[in-house]
Structure 1
Amino acid sequence: MSTVSALRVDQASLTTREELFEIVFDGNYESVHQDVRELLFDPIFAHRSNLTLSQAGRLSYERSRALHRKLEKPLDILRNPLRLYALAEWCGLLDVSCFSLVMVHYNLSVGTVYDHGQDRDDIADYVDEMNSLASFSPYMATELGYGNNLAALRTEAVYDHASQTFVLNTPDPLAQKFMSYSGFGDIPKIAVVMARLKVDGADYGVFPFLVRLSTEQGLCEGIRAVSCPEKPVQGLDNGLTWFDHVRIPARNILLGDVAEITAEGKFKPVIANPRTRFHRALSRIIPGRLCVSSAATALGRASVYIALRYAQQRLTNAPGNDDVAIIEFRSHQLSTFTALAKAYALTLFANYVKREYVGQIERPSAKVLNLINIVKAVATWEMDGVVNLCRERCGAQGIFSINRIIDFGTLLPGVVTAEGDNQVLLAATAAQMLAQPWSERVPAPHQHAGGDLTDCARLVELLLFREHKLWTAAREQKEASEDKGYFGAWNDVINSGIEMARLHGIRNALQCLHKAAAEAENAEVGAALNLLGALFGLSELQRNTGWYLAHGVISSEQVLALPAVLDALCVALRDHVPMLLEGFALTPELLRAPIAYDDYATEFCRQVNAGAQ
């Protein structure tokens, strides 16, 4: 449970639904989430049939404006990071493109101004436009030839002291800005463009610049944009953008507190280290990873909610029975209940990391920064699998956008890459973890091999044991390979390092779920969360039973019994499922997914007929 639990009402007085709200939303449902959730009932979020991708993209802009009109301004939301993360959780549930637009505008673009220039009177006109959403703000960092390797980007901004301007230029096709929203040239936009600052022929690294990209009359002079190839479902105007010696005023650079350009036209650093300046310029990437993690867990929860609501109503034939709900099949239970366990575990892990980050937001520790990287990778990977699993378990109904899940599946692959490709992110995080001494108690699970594998504490110990072994082996191998040079030595252990970092996230997620179960005041909630913890932990253990067996920490009898143990957990969980779904604060009326309704057939026909009129 959250460390703010002392400020809450007496837990003993809570219903199961109320306590699960406390757990899932970290004690912040009413203060942070509720009004954002209520906005989704606005008719503008109703499903629209037979739209072209362009029409769908423009509708997403209108929906983003609708959210903006009814919430506090972006700068106010940025002052309360939990509010930003809540917006990330809710705004993509009925329009996945809306999530992308809102988070780029609020976190990346307005957030960059918030971090590096909000108090500057000389750019107040730009800030007002962005804060009022008179202009949308794309964030232009990624380039066609360099992907997420922002340190290598080639777009340049050359300072011309005589005219007090920067000349923004794209030197070659590989340096074109890639995927930013530039395709709808008639929507007013002020972009935040990451470009290489050059003064007097010297390269001082990458900084953000404000650039008016377009007005209602079209793209501004010197700016060219073409649309990227179409993406399924998402009709956003992703583009390739080229700057042809575009002049922008000197005031448009966002140097923040790391440097200045003097009255004599010289670059004067306040922070001497170029790498430190680079990371400061990209300050919104870190909270962006938490936004992405929040969105991923929300999409996972919604997918599980829809799939399990449908499974409780969808009847089929079974041996000796004509009408059996598909949720009663153990084969259906094992996959969907495991998805439910993952949704809970990763939600609580994300909550924990957000709480830790907000507690030290001005100067986050290396541990917290590592956790942010890990939760982003693990949450998006795991929820990508959950969403696809839920779509499949819904059969033919899972392929219709009206039932939401397939739309969620179009966003998850994008967020796996967004704010840092997961594999690269975990590799970099693993390198940092391997460079630090091991700081936790080293488990010795051999001492009671054969113990109860449904005990969450035991499962945590087993995962921690494997994590420590991977860490130790990677360090030893890296030292043994030092004669190969830095890259050769690291390359020998990169895969085990990535696995170690991933497992660190899974183990922390299990610990969060186990802690919530132990601290639950309601006995039914505690029992249900314990079962979810066991199912989640065993699903991870099952990936590497051979490894655990080889290390003597589980027995061959336990490995052979594992399928029966998992089935028994599903049997025990079955009656708790409706209660656990209530904890997500979702309803059929909110999601408008026909198969989530009690009478799904009638609702499906109603919506199909309404769309045909």
Structure 2
Amino acid sequence: MTSVTTQYLPAASGIPQAEPEVREAAEDLAALVYDGRFDSVHADLRAALEDPVFDQRHGLAPLEAGRLSYERARFLHGRLGPAAELMRDQLRMFAIGEWSCLIDTTTLPILNIHYNLCLGTILQHGAGRDDLADYIDELGSMSSIGLLIATELGHGNNIAALETEAVYDHASREFVLNTPHARAQKFMPNTGISDIPKLAVVMARLKVDGADCGVLPFIVRISDHNGLCEGVHVTRLPEKPGFALDNAVTRFDHVRIPRRNLLTGDMGQLTDDGVFQGAVGSKRKQVLRALDRVTPGRICLAGALISAGRASVYIAVRYAEQRLTAAPGRGEVPILAYRSQQIALFSSLAQVYAMTFLVNHVKTEYLSRHSGNEAEVDQLISIAKALSSWEMSRVIHVCRERCGAQGMFSVNRIADYVPMAQGVVTAEGDNLPLLATVAAQMLARRGRSAGKTTPSDPASSDLLTGTFQLDLLQYREDSLRREARQAMTEETRGDGTLFSAWNQNMTAATSMARTRGVRLALKEFLTAVENAETEDGRTALRLLACLYGLLEVNRDSGWYLARNALTAEQVERLPREIESMCEQILPHSRLLVDGFKLTPELLRAPIADDDYITAVSRLVGHGLPAPRTASR
């Protein structure tokens, strides 16, 4: 097969143009991006986005936009088949997030909360209970929208400290759900549109005969077609730019709910005599088990944001191939001819592919986990969620900036992905405390060897090889772990407290956890290179993987230099190697974004069109003729 370099024939401007002959290579890349499951898992979801219900509607007020998102969520629900089957197919659940967010970012949390957090929690902790069938059918038909209501105004990540109370009334065999004070108000559930029927799983502290039995999930009806249910009080929160979810502050005023609405699962039982018998060692472990559905939710959100990152790079690269700008001695050239644009967009492209392969690996590990490795897989999920959402947040910002003024408009999609990225960074566990928790667990784990204690000889190593890049990352990860653990041990042996020891080593520990994620991402990237079936696809991926490794080594080049893991000459050469790699990637850029299975028609973003000037003119209603010059 002819190489991509010759297939992407350079125009007079020096920017490569796509030709039909690269379709085989693009399909090769798509098979890797979607882990060989595009037809079986993704294709129908992608096709559903072509329906007119997802056409852009301009000028909507936030409340109108929110109602439209619920309409779109119900439309997708109607295309997904029986809810019971869907809930057994976790890969489909992940795919729903990846596609639903591309056209309407608000459908992502609606569907994730409904299926994964609400219905999933009821199915998990109410398994085998026929008395919950009506609730399951109601959510399964989406006649009511499912919610998870957990976080309180005074308690962010510390869910074990929640203060909303569910007091058991043994005489009536009911619970009395109440918000005792302002700190216990539920913060940010999507309860703000009150005439849409909503059924929630509410996390509340069970109290029986004055005894605190810990936080457990309860099924609570929030609203029906007539509005809020008795005793439920909701105040919509102020507008969130670019994000139409109807978040609100919610409180409960002695709301009575039937006994069957308590979900104890394997966490214990409330006996007929009105005695709660707990089966979990601590109240903190109990609430973590109650919120077990948060774990796949993290994968879902990470995958969705990576999907938005893919769309952002796709739009930005296509626009950069056409958008003309002045060039010294050349007249006008497309902005992608400039190295500054290449570094920005191709670095983003490398990070998108790296995070795609990392989260694909995480999905596989989650689906195959067993009782012996659950803790390790959960740590991997947390690392991947934190790393990928931080990286995609940066990618989306870069792509928006590199599209200039056009990138500021919602019609071109990328601007709407910015608040989505910020939401994902915070949701299902705020990234920094999430990564810090994992880092602390990694340091506390016993029986692990010291790892790589000395660096490889840099003088005899090649910066451009994946094996050397992986070796550097492994050395950094092991060194940070070893040094942080030793420093904490010395601190606690002296006069220091465990908190002070952790506080002084927290930065190094979180850097260690991040480095583990980067190392795994590069490892999966290099595996994808080996698995590519076409020469063109393999060549493009190899260059991009090398760029990703160079970027990460360059990020901490001073640390490597100080440890004699890199030579001064190599550190000075890193920026030049990154530029050289971008120059080599340029002929492959269209192929690499074509591997995402996106089209301008699907995204409905004018600047991604093959002729963005005509597309924008069509949008604003001007019937001016196209420019006569061949290059636009």
TM-score if structure 1 supplies the norm length? 0.95
SS of the counterpart of 2:171? coil
Q: Which residue of 2 aligns with 1:590?
A: 602
Change (3 A) 1:606 1:445: same
Relative to structure 1, the CA distance from residue 397 to residue 361 in structure 2 (aligned partners, 3 Å threshold; closer, same or farther) is: farther
Which residue does 2:35 correspond to in 1? 26
Q: CA deviation at 1:492?
A: 1.5
Alpha-carbon contact 1:190-1:212 (below 8 Å) kept: yes
8 Å contact 1:88–1:291 — kept in the other structure?
Answer: yes
- Aligned mate of 1:57, from 66, 69, 89: 66
* Partner SS state of residue 375, structure 1: helix
Q: Quick check: 69-78 or 352-361, which moved more?
A: 69-78
The one-letter code sitting in structure 1 at the alignment partner of 2:93 is L
Is the 8 Å Cα contact of residues 348 and 513 (structure 1) preserved in structure 2? yes
Q: Which runs of structure 1 show a deviation greater than 6 angstroms over 4 or more consecutive aligned residues?
A: none
- Alignment match of 2:593 (pick from 565, 572, 581): 581
Instruction: Tell me which amino acid in the other structure corresponds to 1:197.
Output: L
2:474 maps to 1:474: no
Deviations 1:449-499 (A, max 9, x none): 352211111111111111111111101100011031221221121111011
* Matched residue, 1:170: 179
Q: Which amino acid aligns with 2:387?
A: V
What CA distance in whole angstroms lies between the structure 2 residues aligned with 1:228 and 1:603?
A: 37
The answer to whether residue 544 in structure 2 is matched with residue 532 in structure 1 is: yes
Q: Which residue of 2 aligns with 1:462?
A: 472
1:283 is aligned to 292
CA contact (8 A) 1:450 1:553 kept: no
CA distance in 2, matches of 1:348, 1:257: 35
Q: Deviations over 1:299-356 (max 9, x none)?
A: 1111000000111111122112223111111110011000000000000000001101
Which segment drifts farther, 485-494 or 51-60? 485-494
The equivalent residue for 1:561 is: 573
Q: In 2, Cα distance between the equivalents of 1:272 and 1:452? A: 52
Q: Is the 8 A contact 1:450 1:555 kept in 2?
A: no
- Provide the residue aligned with 1:485 in structure 2: 497
Match in the other structure for 1:338:
347
Say if 1:225 and 1:240, in contact at 8 Å, map to a contact too: yes
Amino acid at match of 1:421: D
Contact 1:74–1:110 (CA<8 Å) still a contact in 2? no
**Out of 93, 97, 108, which is 2:117 matched to?**
108
Alignment of 1:394-543 (within 5 A): 394-436=403-445, 437-438=447-448, 442=452, 444-449=454-459, 451-482=461-492, 483-543=495-555
Question: What stretches of structure 2 of length at least 5 have no aligned partner?
Answer: 1-21, 623-632
Q: Offset at 1:73?
A: 3.2
- Does residue 1:95 correspond to 2:107, yes or no? no
Of the structure 1 ranges 530-539 and 211-220, higher mean CA displacement relative to structure 2 is found in 530-539
Cα 1:502–1:326 shift into 2, 3 Å: same
Q: Is the 8 A contact 1:75 1:110 kept in 2?
A: no
> Which residue of structure 2 aligns with residue 544 of structure 1?
556
1:306 and 2:318 aligned: no
Give 2:321's aligned amino acid.
Q
Give the 3-state SS of the residue equivalent to 1:335 in structure 2: helix
Shift of 1:258: 1.9
Counterpart contact for 1:481–1:492, Cα < 8 Å: no
Residues 472/272 of structure 1: CA separation in 2 closer, same or farther (3 Å cut): closer
| Cα deviations by residue, 1:244-268 (Å, 9 ceiling, x for unpaired) | 0100000111111221111111112
Please give the alpha-carbon distance, in whole angstroms, between the structure 2 residues aligned to 1:125 and 1:108.
18
Task: Specify the alignment match of 2:583 in structure 1.
Answer: 571
* C-alpha deviation, 1:443, in angstroms: 6.6
Counterpart for residue 7 of structure 1: none
Q: Tell me, what secondary structure is at the counterpart of 2:103?
A: coil
SS in 1 for 2:326: strand
In structure 2, how many angstroms separate the alpha carbons of the residues matched to 1:123 and 1:369?
A: 29
Q: 2:399 aligns with which of 390, 396, 399?
A: 390
Aligned equivalent of 2:24, options 12, 15, 29: 15
Which residue in the other structure is 1:79 paired with? 88
| Structure 1 residues 224 and 607, CA gap change in structure 2 (3 angstroms) | same
Write the distance in 2 (CA, Å) between the matches of 1:498 and 1:155: 32
Contact 2:41 2:92 survives alignment (8 Å): yes
Give 1:567 shift: 1.1
CA distance in 2, matches of 1:362, 1:562: 44
Residue by residue over 1:71-92, the C-alpha shift from the partner in whole angstroms, topping out at 9 and shown as x without a partner, is 1233322201111111111110
- Name the structure 2 match of 1:321: 330
Between the aligned partners of 2:82 and 2:121, the Cα distance in structure 1 is 15
Cα distance between partner residues in 2 of 1:200 and 1:261: 12
Distance 2:148 2:131 in 1: 21
**Any idea what SS the aligned residue of 2:501 has?**
helix
- What is the match of residue 221 of structure 1? 230
Match of 2:459, as an amino acid? A
Displacement of 1:526 after TM fit? 1.6
Report the Cα distance in structure 2 between the residues aligned to 1:108 and 1:398, rounded to whole angstroms.
Answer: 33
Partner of 2:14: none
Q: CA shift at 1:518, angstroms?
A: 2.3
Query: What is the rounded CA distance, in whole Å, between the counterparts of 1:334 and 1:75 in structure 2?
Result: 46
DSSP-derived class of the 1:423 partner: helix
SS at match of 1:442: coil
Please state how far the C-alpha of 1:608 moved relative to its aligned partner: 3.0
What SS does the aligned partner of 2:556 have? Answer: helix
Distance 1:97 1:363 in 2: 37
Match 1:248 to one of 257, 276, 283: 257
- Give 1:144-159 correspondences, 5 Å limit: 144-159=153-168
What whole-Å deviation, never above 9, does each CA across 1:220-239 have from its counterpart, x for those lacking one? 11111000111002122100
Kindly indicate whether residue 234 of structure 2 is the aligned counterpart of residue 233 of structure 1.
no
Paired residue type of 1:531: L
What is the distance in 2 between the residues matched to 1:440 and 1:23?
A: 34
- Alpha-carbon distance in structure 2 between the residues aligned to 1:383 and 1:493: 27
Identity of aligned residues (%): 49
Q: Does structure 1 retain, via aligned residues, the 8 Å contact 2:207–2:213?
A: yes
Q: Is the 8 A contact 1:345 1:513 kept in 2?
A: yes
Q: What corresponds to 1:8 in structure 2?
A: none
1:293 aligns with 2:302: yes
Specify the SS of the correspondent of 1:91: helix
The Cα shift of 1:538 comes to 1.4
Distance in structure 1 (CA, Å) of the matches to 2:373 and 2:108: 26
Residues 485/538 of structure 1: CA separation in 2 closer, same or farther (3 Å cut): same
Report the 3-state secondary structure (helix = DSSP H, G, I; strand = E; otherwise coil) of the residue aligned with 2:289. helix
Count of aligned positions: 598
Q: How does 1:185-200 map to 2 (within 5 A)?
A: 185-200=194-209
- Counterpart in the other structure of 1:266: 275
Post-superposition shift, 1:444? 4.1
